């Protein structure tokens, strides 16, 4: 599909622009980021860069034409590609103004939700010259900063330090384990301090970009109006970024006061003696590991046949093995039937299995989109998720829904990018969200990082070559006492295309970003095997696994 070239909105007050000169002629090739044309606004002359690579198929606005902002002035695409219906761009009529309600103001973009998708969208829209408002019912930063990514990583760092202290004897460091004490209240305070610092940082970013922030629940009353705290605000576009909430299951006893979501678990002031974790996904294994190191007797109950079932099977097996070494009990293919509360705590009854006794239970079966605030618009919703296209646009043309609400990829870093895409399109752009290669990370000990196809997925419709390299053969890993795990590189056997990278081991969450670049740049495995990596480093394992897939790994025995 041909990409549109539009008259950009280069300032808050800009309503139209004049085409001064096209720098590329019809039929000529242009690359993303190359100057495409020069325009004149009421303040400055500026060059407009191409947002796509291809051939300039058609110019709709000629030199000297004055065009409203966001009006299509040309098309870029593959040579000979059809652009569909064309319309003349020359006009001096200004866009229809949206009359503001007496109780509110008018904005170019109104963002509902201040999480990763929402606050990023607000800032990006402001960078593009928009007058932007954001409504947040709690604290900016959303689940990620307040109740998810950041708090759990803070606890996991405490767990890592505890693990290192209590296992330091082999390094010649003697520690009286009886003297090592963990203070849950202080850990909680540390977590709160980190969260406050980051959320204050987001507030400062919003303020510095001129975003009006309203405290309260934003409700989209129509395609051009948002209500916050009883006031109605008008806007040209709405970006709905409501985020997600913890999932629930309908079994007897699930509403017990002793059954927590991750939100409540992060506010505990005492470490439970026995903790049952319902769900062996990312949240379950991270929280389970943290509380195990804090001193809880942890049992993870997973309905599927393995923990973190979305990961590569070898990764799941290795992570399970390492968690068991740390004292975590893992029960797979286990379906929870009911929960009974008594004076002694909780009894979790499994179908055809034993009863798990616990003082508290953590419900961690994933998250679901929070659609409160968008219902009045009647946007298309499928399976509890807002349906969007690659531009983050909903079934209502000027309403966008980035982040967890659309269920495409419920990760904070994916939400960041979706927020940017939504903002650029709300401001008249033609940005696209590519969901193909988004890395996933689990911050356990050892860490997990993954991107692309698993080995099983890749083998379904092509001949593949798999390269592996164990951290047990890596100098840095052995010196650090972290030899568990491996790097796996999956490639297309015929062309050497890297299809997926899966890591379980030290630094996996950092190393996977290099793999992300490799896949994005379409680097082949032979090219990876020629890239020099520093020594000794954990990331040498990625290089070695690539070399193994290419059949020339030096540091593995001959096959």
Which residues participate in catalysis according to the annotation? 535
Q: Measuring CA to CA, which residue among 486, 418, 405, 489 is closest to residue 455?
A: 489
For residue 414, give the 3-state DSSP assignment. Answer: helix
For residue 293, give the 3-state DSSP assignment. Answer: helix
- Provide the pairing of β-strand 360-363 with 259-260: parallel
Within 60-163, strands assigned E span 66-68, 72-77, 106-112, 132-136
Q: Which long-range contacts (CB under 8 A, 24 or more apart) does 178-183 make?
A: 182/158, 182/271, 182/294, 182/295
| Residue 35, C-beta contacts closer than 8 angstroms, at least 6 positions apart | 23, 47, 48, 49, 50
For residue 120, give the 3-state DSSP assignment. Answer: helix
What token pair was written down for 165? Answer: 């202290």
354 burial class (0-12, 13-18, 19+ CB within 10 angstroms)?
exposed
In whole angstroms, what is the distance from residue 470 CA to residue 542 CA?
10
Token pair 């997973």 is found at 302
Q: What is the DSSP string of 135-200?
A: EESS-TTHHHHHHSHHHHHHHHHHHHHHHHHHT-GGGT----GGG----HHHHHHHHHHHHHHHHH
| Residues 405/243, Cβ–Cβ less than 8 Å | yes
DSSP-derived secondary structure letter, 98: P
Q: What are the φ and ψ backbone dihedral angles of 432, each rounded to 5 degrees?
A: -130, 140
């Amino acid at each position: 599909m041909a990409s549109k070239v539009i008259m950009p909105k280069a300032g808050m007050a800009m309503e139209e622009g004049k085409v001064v000169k096209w720098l590329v002629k019809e039929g000529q090739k242009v690359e993303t980021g190359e100057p495409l044309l020069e325009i004149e606004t009421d303040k400055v002359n500026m060059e407009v860069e191409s947002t796509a690579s291809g051939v300039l198929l058609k110019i709709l606005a000629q030199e000297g034409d004055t065009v409203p902002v966001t009006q299509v002035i040309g098309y870029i695409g593959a040579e000979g590609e059809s652009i569909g219906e064309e319309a003349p761009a020359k006009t001096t009529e200004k866009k229809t103004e949206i009359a503001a309600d007496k109780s509110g103001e008018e904005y170019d973009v109104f963002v509902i939700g201040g999480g990763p998708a929402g606050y990023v969208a607000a800032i990006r829209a402001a960078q593009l010259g928009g007058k932007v408002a954001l409504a947040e019912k709690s604290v900016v930063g959303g689940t990620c900063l307040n109740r998810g990514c950041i708090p759990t990583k803070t606890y996991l760092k405490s767990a890592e330090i505890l693990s290192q202290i209590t296992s330091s004897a082999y390094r010649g460091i003697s520690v009286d384990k009886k003297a090592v004490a963990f203070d849950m209240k202080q850990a909680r305070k540390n977590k709160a301090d980190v969260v406050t610092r980051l959320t204050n940082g987001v507030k400062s970013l919003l303020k510095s970009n001129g975003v009006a922030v309203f405290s309260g629940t934003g409700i989209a009353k129509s395609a051009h109006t948002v209500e916050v705290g009883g006031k109605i605000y008008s806007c040209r576009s709405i970006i709905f970024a409501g985020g997600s909430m913890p999932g629930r299951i309908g079994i007897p006893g699930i509403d017990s006061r002793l059954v927590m979501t991750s939100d409540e678990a992060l506010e505990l002031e005492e470490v439970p003696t026995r903790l049952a974790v319902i769900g062996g996904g990312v949240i379950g294994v991270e929280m389970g590991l943290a509380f195990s190191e804090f001193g809880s007797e942890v049992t993870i109950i997973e309905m599927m046949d393995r923990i973190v079932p979305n990961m590569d099977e070898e990764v799941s097996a290795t992570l399970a093995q390492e968690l068991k070494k740390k004292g975590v009990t893992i029960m797979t293919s286990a379906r929870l039937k009911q929960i009974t509360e008594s004076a002694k705590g909780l009894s979790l009854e499994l179908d055809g299995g034993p009863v798990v006794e616990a003082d508290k239970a953590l419900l961690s079966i994933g998250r679901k989109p929070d659609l409160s605030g968008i219902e009045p618009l009647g946007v298309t919703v499928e399976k509890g998720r807002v349906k969007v296209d690659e531009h983050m646009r909903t079934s209502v043309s000027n309403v966008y829904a980035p982040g967890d609400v659309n269920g495409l990829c419920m990760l904070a870093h994916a939400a960041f990018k979706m927020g940017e895409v939504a903002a650029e399109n709300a401001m008249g752009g033609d940005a696209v969200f590519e969901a193909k290669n988004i890395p996933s990370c689990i911050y356990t000990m050892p860490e997990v990082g993954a991107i692309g196809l698993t080995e099983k997925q890749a083998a379904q419709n092509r001949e593949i070559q798999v390269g592996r390299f164990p951290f047990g053969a890596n100098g840095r890993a052995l010196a650090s006492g972290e030899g568990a795990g491996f790097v796996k590189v999956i490639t297309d056997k015929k062309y050497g295309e890297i299809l997926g990278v899966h890591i379980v081991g030290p630094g996996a969450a950092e190393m996977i970003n290099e793999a992300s670049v490799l896949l994005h740049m379409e680097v082949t495995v032979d090219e990876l095997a020629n890239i020099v990596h520093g020594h000794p480093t954990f990331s040498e394992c990625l290089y070695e696994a690539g070399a193994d897939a290419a059949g020339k790994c030096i540091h593995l025995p001959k096959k």
